[in-house]
């Protein structure tokens, strides 16, 4: 036998038992005795006086006992001993609080002998809940990339708990079980039953347990030890050790050659197809646009050996402006896990891309200015449907309003920006606009090197513009990244023939990347992200005075790739789980429209309130915990939809189980039990346990009520005794 209290702080209430004594002593000091001759006829007899003092003493003791019993009841004392046969959840066992942690990863949907680990876990949980006694409470957590409370706070209603479990669907992303355990401990801080358990229902996948993160597991042990009643922690791996009947093919995250295109501009969609086994995989992959199959895009892939990968690439065009959704899915053949058979990415189609060209040195003759060749390449004269809507301003006419509505700005041989212009460029970048800087001989180095958004420090000018003396050529073997990489392919890339007469020395800033160099080794193209935006800095201007680049065959496609690459950084459309999706609404919707409808990957509809500030409007969605595509219905105009894709964790395709040695390490130092047999765990939880706790607070409350009755009786008796004494005199 052993015992203790659950709320030791309440034992301080025992000090309240001294209150009646203190009051009694204070009252005696405040009542002096004054002798008066006639009082002798009112004095009680010696026997009555003794009875009165005894009643007063008993009354004070009763009051002291009453306060002490209440304090002890609040402290919740208990004793431990062998429970009766059939304990655990039997009528003689004390109630318990249970937190069920259900693995919400995509791997729980793996097909195993006609069922899935998810279905097996839900079936076990529902049966387990029906075996609980009425005083037991249950909370249910779903462990995905972020932990979600399915039943929180804990409930005692078994029917509602069962309904919540029955409606739970298989997740699409990964799971983080250490975070889920920390959340379970947080829930148990607020519960009150003397016995507590945390039960993890998973498929035994290694990645979900994060066995290599020893620091997190040490923190979990510490959190458990701080609880008033540390819970036992159990784990059941459903389907562990059962091989899949078919290989698992998974489509990796998609990438596009450009995130923003114009109607008819080709876009290349690329991805990888991986086979997690067992056995070889042969599947057909196809491209979809807005959920509709693109005819003729089916590609047969395989056989891919277990553990192998292959690259997939699709080419298509989009004709309608607005947001669209590109997806690659697998069809045909058997697959053990259907959740990773499709991957999607949003893309935007603009009717004509608005670009602002800031000319730092306008020319007096045609094709003599800093932006003349660039404008001709982007929006040729006579083209009725240009891909780019270019607007040219000089530096002295550039105002903050010039940047409104633009997607990209180009600073061509600009000398310096005024404080007002520099601030406008900063706001433009913060809003997601792209910036291309092409410095020349007029550029003030100090003025640009102090700008926080410049991706490299501008140095001395090598060579002399207009000298016709070749100093360098672009080096295609150094081209890297989605923009420059394709221009370096082939045996004789055209850009290698461009002659450079003068260029600036560039020193890349931290976080910047060099995507192209000259054959001298000096950087030519330097890029760095700026929030949601991108900034590209060139070592040369884009005129004919410093080289033959403007007349190179690849000049027109190159500047188009630069511009569309910069325009694609306006809004993030591919998110990680838990990363908020913030979307600016342009144009601003009518003032009487308060919310927009959002559809989640699970098919549920959420109403998002429109956030208005000044003349702008936006929506924000924070609960992006589920992998898949989120679709927002846009108001008219322009109507249509906006899409965001939350990428799934690639580890879900790896079914590797938690190794026994790793499980032993995780269980060391605290009562974490990995029970491979679900039925045996049920028996262990239901069987009689030595040391089951029994609380005494109910008996103490009953004793306090009895003490209260005694206090009332003694008070009435004391009053009656005093009255009888006076009447008898």
Domain assignment present for residue 89? The answer is no
Model pLDDT for residues 544-597, shown as the tens digit of each residue: 888 999 999 999 999 998 998 898 765 557 788 888 888 888 778 888 899 999
Query: Residue 217: which of 705, 658, 686 has the closest Cα?
Result: 658
Place of tokens 């000018």: 461
Last residue of a domain, one of 567, 590, 606: 567
Residues 275 and 335 in one domain: yes
Domain assignment present for residue 87? The answer is no
Q: How far apart are CA 525 and CA 513, in angstroms?
A: 9
Domain assignment present for residue 88? The answer is no
Model pLDDT for residues 299-350, shown as the tens digit of each residue: 999 899 988 999 999 999 998 888 889 999 999 888 888 888 889 998 888 8
Give how many domains the chain has, as a whole number. 5
Domain assignment present for residue 90? The answer is no
Residues 265 and 211 in one domain: no
Q: Please report the pLDDT score of residue 443 as a whole number.
A: 92
Query: Residue 200: which of 672, 685, 686 has the closest Cα?
Result: 672
Q: Please report the pLDDT score of residue 716 as a whole number.
A: 77
Domain assignment present for residue 382? The answer is yes
Q: Please report the pLDDT score of residue 727 as a whole number.
A: 46
435 close to 408: Cβ distance less than 8 angstroms? yes
CATH number at residue 253: 2.60.40.10
Query: Residue 448: which of 371, 511, 509 has the closest Cα?
Result: 509
| pLDDT band with cut points at 50, 70 and 90 for residue 728 | very low
Query: Residue 63: which of 34, 21, 102 has the closest Cα?
Result: 21
Cα distances (Å, whole numbers) of residue 526 to 156, 530, 535, 571: 62, 13, 8, 22
Q: Please report the pLDDT score of residue 688 as a whole number.
A: 41
Residues 275 and 167 in one domain: no
Q: How far apart are CA 374 and CA 50, in angstroms?
A: 115
Residues 445 and 549 in one domain: yes
As beta bridge partners, residue 116 has none
Stretch among 3-7, 349-353, 659-663 having the lowest mean pLDDT? 3-7
Q: Please report the pLDDT score of residue 586 as a whole number.
A: 75
Query: What tokens were used for 50?
Result: 């003794």
Residues 496 and 369 in one domain: yes
Stretch among 356-360, 434-438, 674-678, 722-726 having the lowest mean pLDDT? 722-726
Residues 139 and 228 in one domain: yes
Query: What tokens were used for 145?
Result: 């990339």
Stretch among 239-243, 372-376, 432-436, 704-708 having the lowest mean pLDDT? 239-243
SS (H, E, C) 684-718: HHHCCCCCEEEECHHHHHHHHHHHHHHHHHHHHHH
| pLDDT band with cut points at 50, 70 and 90 for residue 79 | low
The sign of the dihedral angle between the CA atoms of 485, 486, 488, 490 is positive
Residues 132 and 270 in one domain: no
Q: How far apart are CA 729 and CA 727, in angstroms?
A: 5
Model pLDDT for residues 273-299, shown as the tens digit of each residue: 999 888 899 999 999 999 899 999 999
Residues 321 and 369 in one domain: no
Domain assignment present for residue 69? The answer is yes
CATH number at residue 164: 3.40.50.410
CATH number at residue 440: 3.40.50.880
Residues 319 and 414 in one domain: no
Last residue of a domain, one of 628, 646, 664: 646
| pLDDT band with cut points at 50, 70 and 90 for residue 369 | confident
Average pLDDT over the chain, rounded to whole?
84
Range of the domain at 613: 575-646
Q: Please report the pLDDT score of residue 36 as a whole number.
A: 53
| pLDDT band with cut points at 50, 70 and 90 for residue 648 | confident
Domain assignment present for residue 91? The answer is no
Domain assignment present for residue 181? The answer is yes
Residues 285 and 344 in one domain: yes
Residues 621 and 669 in one domain: no
Model pLDDT for residues 8-39, shown as the tens digit of each residue: 677 777 787 777 777 767 766 555 555 555 55
Residues 111 and 189 in one domain: yes
């Amino acid at each position: 036998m052993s015992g203790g209290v659950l709320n030791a702080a309440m034992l301080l209430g025992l000090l309240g038992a001294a209150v009646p004594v203190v009051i009694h002593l204070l009252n005696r000091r405040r009542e002096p005795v004054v002798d008066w001759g006639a009082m002798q006829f009112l004095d009680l007899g010696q026997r009555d006086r003794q009875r009165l003092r005894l009643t007063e003493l008993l009354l004070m003791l009763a009051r002291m006992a009453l306060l002490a019993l209440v304090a002890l009841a609040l402290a919740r004392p208990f004793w431990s001993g062998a429970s009766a046969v059939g304990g655990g959840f039997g009528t003689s066992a004390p109630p318990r609080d249970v937190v069920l942690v259900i693995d919400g990863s995509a791997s729980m949907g793996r097909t195993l002998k006609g069922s899935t680990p998810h279905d097996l876990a839900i079936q076990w949980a529902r049966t387990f809940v029906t075996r609980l006694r009425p005083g037991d409470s249950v909370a249910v957590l779903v462990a995905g990339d972020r932990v979600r409370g399915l039943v929180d706070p804990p409930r005692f209603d078994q029917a509602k708990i069962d309904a919540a479990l029955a409606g739970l669907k298989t997740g699409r992303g990964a799971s983080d079980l250490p975070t889920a355990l920390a959340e379970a401990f947080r829930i148990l801080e607020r519960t009150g039953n003397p016995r507590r358990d945390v039960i993890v229902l998973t498929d035994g996948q290694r990645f979900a347990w994060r066995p290599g993160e020893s620091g997190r597991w040490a923190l979990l042990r510490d959190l458990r030890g701080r609880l008033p009643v540390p819970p036992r922690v159990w784990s059941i791996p459903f389907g562990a050790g059962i091989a899949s009947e078919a290989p698992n093919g998974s489509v990796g995250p998609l990438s596009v050659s450009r995130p923003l295109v114009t109607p008819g501009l080709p876009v290349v969609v690329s991805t990888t197809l991986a086979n997690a086994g067992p056995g070889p995989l042969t599947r057909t992959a196809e491209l979809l646009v807005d959920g509709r199959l693109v005819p003729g895009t089916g590609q047969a892939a395989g056989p891919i050996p277990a553990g192998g990968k292959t690259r997939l690439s699709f080419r298509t065009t989009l004709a309608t402006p607005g947001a669209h959704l590109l997806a690659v899915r697998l069809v045909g053949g058997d697959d053990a896990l259907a959740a990773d058979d499709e991957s999607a990415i949003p893309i935007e189609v603009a009717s004509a891309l608005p670009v602002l060209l800031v000319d730092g040195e306008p020319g007096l003759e045609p094709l003599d200015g800093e932006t003349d060749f660039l404008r001709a390449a982007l929006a040729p004269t006579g083209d009725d449907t240009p891909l780019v809507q270019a607007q040219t301003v000089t530096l002295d006419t550039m105002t903050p309003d010039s940047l409104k509505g633009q997607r990209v700005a180009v600073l061509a041989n600009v000398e310096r920006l005024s404080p007002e212009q520099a601030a406008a460029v900063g706001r433009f970048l913060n809003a997601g606009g792209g910036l291309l800087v092409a410095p020349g001989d007029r550029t003030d180095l100090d003025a640009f090197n102090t700008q926080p958004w410049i991706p490299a420090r501008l140095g001395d000018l090598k060579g002399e513009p207009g000298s016709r003396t070749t100093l360098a050529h672009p080096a295609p073997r150094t081209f890297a990244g989605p923009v420059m990489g394709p221009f370096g392919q082939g045996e004789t890339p055209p850009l290698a023939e461009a002659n450079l007469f003068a260029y600036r020395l560039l020193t890349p800033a931290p976080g910047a990347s060099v995507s192209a160099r000259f054959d001298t080794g000096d950087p030519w193209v330097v890029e760095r992200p700026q929030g949601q935006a991108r900034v590209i800095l060139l070592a040369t201007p884009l005129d004919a005075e410093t080289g033959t680049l403007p007349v190179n065959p690849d000049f027109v496609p190159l500047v188009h790739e630069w511009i569309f690459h910069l325009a694609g950084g306006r809004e993030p459309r591919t998110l990680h789980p838990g990363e908020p999706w913030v979307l600016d609404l342009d144009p601003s919707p009518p003032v009487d429209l308060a919310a927009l409808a959002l559809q989640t990957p699970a098919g549920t509809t959420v109403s998002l309130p429109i956030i208005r500030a000044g003349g702008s409007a936006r929506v924000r969605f924070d609960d992006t915990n589920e992998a898949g595509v989120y679709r927002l219905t846009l108001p008219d105009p322009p109507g249509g939809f906006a899409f965001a894709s939350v990428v799934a964790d690639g580890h879900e395709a790896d079914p590797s189980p938690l190794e026994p040695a790793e499980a032993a390490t995780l269980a060391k130092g605290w009562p974490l039990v990995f029970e491979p047999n679900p039925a045996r765990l049920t028996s262990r939880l239901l069987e009689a346990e030595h040391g089951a706790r029994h609380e005494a607070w109910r008996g103490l409350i009953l004793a306090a009520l009895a003490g209260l009755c005694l206090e009332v009786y003694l008070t009435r008796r004391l009053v009656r005794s005093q009255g009888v004494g006076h009447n008898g005199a």
